[in-house]
Structure 1
Amino acid sequence: MIHSLRTELPPITLRRSDRERLGVLADAAAEKYPVTADFLASEVERATIVPDTHPLPEIVGMESNVTFRDDISGQEKHVTLVYPTSADVDAGRISVLTPIGAALIGLSAGQSITFETPSGEPRSLTVLWVGIRR
């Protein structure tokens, strides 16, 4: 199932504390994972920032449970977005320092994003559902 790929980036929203921590993470990972770190840094930079106390229902943040669709394959996945030290792919806990994790951060249900993997392959994801952050 191949859908047309969108090139316009959707608006995203982050809490102030997530922006600060994700910015530091992207900087620290720049040498080891340059493409993904740059993508994450770009996402953090373009995000609308809100206070930590601002409710963000249905917006993907750290520790959010997310169901998304791979728009190229049509496959749906349910994951929890975490920092790299908590990642466990077998348990469905994906790192924000992966291409998919960096793409999901700040999106809301119904939004899609197209991005390029470190190998240069196009990917497109659509967020179907976002669970309440813990």
Structure 2
Amino acid sequence: MSKPSIYVREADYARLNDLAQAALDRNFEVADELLGELERASVLPSDQVSTDTVQIGSTVTYETESGQTRTVTLVYPGEADIEQAKVSVLTPIGVALLGLAPGQAIDWRARDGQNHQLKIVEVKDHAATGA
């Protein structure tokens, strides 16, 4: 599957890039994947990124290849909390979610080496969730 077009807010781009660069030594695969996603992303001013595009702070519902749906909020690493369904952008699933919109699907590789696919069902804007 080819990768879908993704969009990242200009306000988050530099921080995400710095985060990925800083993580290269300790978490190379995920950091390298995030850098690759940032490289192919269209970087837009915040007011030009659709509110239904997954960004930091967005709450997203996605469907797995097995048909299960999950709802998580994409956050920076220091805010991650699996019990509250807050997923770090510096995880394989977090990198996969970044910049996608409803209807888009992407293949991603988990830390255990397993390949997965997810499809975005719904995105709630970060401003609407208070994040």
Scaled by the length of structure 2, the TM-score of the pair is 0.92
- Give the root-mean-square deviation of aligned CA atoms: 1.1
Question: Which segments of structure 1 move beyond 6 Å, counting only runs of 4 or more?
Answer: none
What is the distance in 1 between the residues matched to 2:111 and 2:82?
18
Cα distance in structure 2, aligned partners of 1:70 and 1:21: 29
Query: Counterparts of 1:38 and 1:117 in 2: how far apart (Å)?
Result: 14
Matches within 5 A, 1:1-134: 7-71=1-65, 73-134=66-127
- Which residue identity lines up with residue 113 of structure 1 in the other structure? I
Structure 2: gaps spanning 5 or more residues: none
**Paired residue secondary structure (1:129):** strand
Superposition TM-score, scaled by structure 1 size? 0.90
Unaligned runs of 5+ in 1: 1-6
Q: Kindly, what percent of the aligned residue pairs are identical?
A: 39
Q: Distance between the aligned counterparts of 1:82 and 1:90, measured in 2?
A: 14
How many residue pairs get aligned? The number is 127
SS at match of 1:53: helix
**Per-residue displacement from partner, 1:76-98 (whole Å, max 9, x unpaired)?**
10010000000000001010001
Structure with more helix by fraction: 2
8 Å CA contact 2:108, 2:115 repeated in 1: yes
Q: 1:33 to 1:128 in 2, by over 3 A?
A: same
The Cα shift of 1:55 comes to 4.2
How far is the alpha carbon of 1:129 from its aligned partner? 0.1
Alpha-carbon distance in structure 2 between the residues aligned to 1:59 and 1:93 = 17
